[in-house]
Structure 1
Amino acid sequence: QGRSHPEQVYITMAQLIGQLCTFAVKADATEIPKFNYMELGDTFEKLFARVLALLDAVIAERYVEVPMQRREDGMYLGKIEDGSLLRYEFFLAAKGSLPEGQLRDRLPKLSKIASWSQVGSILNSAINGARLELEYQPPGALPLRPGVVFFRVHKTPEYWTDIQGTGTIAIYQPLEPRAVELSLYAVDPENL
């Protein structure tokens, strides 16, 4: 009970890959990694990577990743080209070598979020700009991964109005800039 033979787990995962291929446009069900009893770690690593890639392809239409330019000082700069995205809900994903607890606790307190033109004025102040709130149960529309912490970006009018007007967003995170990676996602409210 609670134990399965590696080959049975492999078959179940291979079936899952085949089923997911029916939903992904450019997927090929024949590209399932071969079972190798002598290299189980490698076999299952490839299987999990394939499942995650297919899941990303299947749910990709449910969110839009905002391209962000990462600077070495911890500043991320993004341009929201499609104005219709501004009616979406925004989520910040954080991952890195810091413990998840530190990310959850410190990022909302220390980060600064505003438009490119406003972020300079809040960097050396006690103001955070648009506020972050921890998402204990992130929406299924997001690309959920172990070790990634999600925050909802609140559309604080004082800062969001300028983000909307300029189509730019700047996110500064001072938590060991090289040790933390941020991604910004927009999700249609209908997919929440």
Structure 2
Amino acid sequence: MSLWNSKKKQRPGMADNQNKVIWYEGMLLQPHHFQQQDRYWQSQVNSGRLLHQYAWGFTRLTFDLAQLKMGVIALTECAGLLPDGSWFDISAPDMLLPALRVRMDMVGMPVVLALPMSGRHRLESHEAPTEQTLVRYRTAEAQVADRVTPDGETIAMQLGELNLRLAPGPQVHDSHYFLAVTRVLELRPDGRVVLDEEHIPPVLNYRCSPRLAGWVDDFLGRLRLRQHELQALNALPGVEGAAGVSRFLFLQSVNRAAAIWAHFSAQDGMHPEVLFRELLALAGEWAAFMSENRRQTLLPHYAHHNLAQTFTSLFGGLQHTLSCAVRPNVIALPLERREFGIYYAQLADTALIHSARLILAARAQMPAGELLRDLPVRLKVGASERIRDMVNLQLPGLSVTPLQTLPHELPYFDGYQYFELGADERLQDADGLALHVAGEFPQGELALWAFTGSE
């Protein structure tokens, strides 16, 4: 068998290819073989990124706040995957990452963590690479122990550290793989650097970004609040039919979302694209509960390199929908008749009194004109805890005004006359509403609604 001539010229276009080395007995080993095998395995590792389009970003990122006061951006902790699949962890004690001195021309620019692309320089590694030396590795000597042989020795070995550096984004855009770390917002006269707090770096774990984590926790809190509110509304007698069904279906959707987001909030390694998918599904689902003019029509696309833009409008739109969807515009307030001709209505939501119109329907065995004329004078309306004093001491109550036009959302009953009650600050913090009709009210019946207006 003839020996393979490892110095044979390669065919054009085959330099730095990623094919596997063929090992066979008797071959003359040279550094080229091991370098080529490294390229092959690196290509195999990188091919795994095809399984997930967004498998790059930070898993940990912490700034040195003391250095910012001196005009320097430095990282105390930083780990993650670059877009080419290279793993880095500068929190390791032997990992070196130079700090970046901020200049005035960097204001408004993104600051990135950059690594030279493969093939940008003839060499893969250099002992003292400069910004112009585009090598991927920095050659460093390290003591490496034999961890297999019981009495194995420790030897000095040349190792390649990733040649990472912090740089302004435009400076390395075409020559490096990079991750946007932050954006310089301001360089103050005293030299202090102010970073853009609204910037969200590309992350593999949403908890790595305090802003993104805050959004998730806030959204979960809003879901739970609306969940309790809808459950309370469903427990009270109100407008039935389509409005009640819509409210129940929305509660079902909110219950599902609250359970899922409670799970997301408890996770430490959730990719932000998973959050985006669930938010997008909620936006589409909840659109059915909003009127066309209030619906969120333009939904963002997922941009892993710009998570702030991706999530800002989506979270904002969903928070608006969550608070506005299926708000009942007519809520029945059941009246309970007690002794001395006093009617009581419990207020589950005291804020309702200040945001809604109170509509009263009345019927009695008397002419309609007489009822319209006399009831506003004989009816005393106020907070339930003050009604007895109002009646006994002849204190003024809420105004009672006959309605000329009934809102079409309110149910119309033949033989009833309709009035509007003028709510004011006297009902603030009231637990309930009380009504008292003075004098004769033969076979009298009353019904009360809170009307918030049309969607």
The 3-state SS of whatever aligns with 1:103 is helix
Change (3 A) 1:145 1:124: same
Matches within 5 A, 1:73-84: 73-84=340-351
**Structure 2, gaps ≥5 residues long:** 1-241, 246-327
Partner residue in 2 for 1:180: 444
Provide the C-alpha distance between the structure 2 equivalents of 1:100 and 1:174, rounded to a whole number of angstroms.
18
Tell me, in whole angstroms, the C-alpha distance in 2 between the residues paired with 1:183 and 1:101: 19
Determine if the alignment matches structure 1 residue 112 to structure 2 residue 380. Answer: yes
Distance in 1 (CA, whole Å) between partners of 2:448 and 2:414 is: 17
CA contact under 8 A between 1:72 and 1:178: conserved in structure 2?
A: no
Any idea what SS the aligned residue of 2:340 has?
coil
Distance 2:416 2:436 in 1: 18
CA contact (8 A) 2:350 2:429 kept: no
Alignment of 1:30-45 (within 5 A): none
Aligned residues: 132
User: How far apart are the structure 1 equivalents of 2:345 and 2:243?
Assistant: 28
Q: Which residue pairs with 1:14 in the alignment?
A: none
Match of 1:155 in 2: 423
Runs of 4+ in 1 over 3 A off after TM superposition: 23-26, 125-128
Q: Which amino acid aligns with 1:78?
A: A
Matching residue of 2:3 = none
Q: Which residue does the alignment assign to 2:429?
A: 165
Distance 1:129 1:122 in 2: 7
Q: Which residue of 1 aligns with 2:330?
A: 63
CA pair 168-110 structure 1, distance change in 2 beyond 3 A: same
Query: Which structure is higher in RCO with an 8 Å CA cutoff and minimum separation 6?
Result: 1
How far apart in 2 are the matches of 1:148 and 1:180?
A: 10
Residue 255 (structure 2) aligns with? none
- Contact (CA 8 Å) 1:89, 1:153: kept in 2 or not? yes
SS of residue paired to 1:165: coil
What is the TM-score with the length of structure 1 in the denominator?
0.61
Assess, with a 3 A threshold, how the Cα gap between structure 1 residues 148 and 121 changes in structure 2: closer, same or farther.
Answer: same
With over 3 angstroms needed to count, the CA separation of the structure-2 counterparts of 1:189 and 1:122, relative to structure 1, is same
1:71-101 superposed Cα distances (whole Å, 9 cap, x missing partner)? 2532101111123422211011101222211
* Contact residue 98 and residue 180 of structure 1 kept, 8 A: no
Q: Which runs of 5+ in 1 are unaligned?
A: 1-22, 27-60
Does the Cα contact within 8 Å between 2:350 and 2:430 map onto a contact in 1?
A: no
Give the AA of the match of 2:349.
D
Say whether residues 1:88 and 2:356 are aligned partners: yes
* C-alpha deviation, 1:127, in angstroms: 3.3
- The CA deviation string for residues 30-73 of structure 1, in whole angstroms up to 9 with x for no partner, is xxxxxxxxxxxxxxxxxxxxxxxxxxxxxxx5411102111253
- Is the contact made by 1:74 and 1:178 (CA closer than 8 Å) also made in structure 2? no
Larger C-alpha radius of gyration, 1 or 2? Answer: 2
Q: Flag the 1:94–1:25 CA change in 2: closer, same or farther, 3 A.
A: closer
| Structure ranking higher in helix proportion | 1
AA of the residue aligned to 2:357: E
Q: Distance in 2 between matches of 1:98 and 1:72?
A: 22
User: Deviation of residue 156 (structure 1)?
Assistant: 3.4
**8 Å contact 1:109–1:128 — kept in the other structure?**
no
Change (3 A) 1:62 1:168: same
Query: 2:363 is matched by which residue type in structure 1?
Result: K
% identity of equivalent residues: 24
Counterpart Cα distance in 2 of 1:74 and 1:96:
14
Q: 1:123 to 1:188 in 2, by over 3 A?
A: same
Return the offset for 1:171.
Answer: 0.4
Partner SS for 2:438: coil
Structure-2 separation of matches of 1:72 and 1:177 = 14
1:133-188 deviations in Å (ceiling 9; x for gaps): 0101111121112211111101233x2xxx23023110001243452111110001
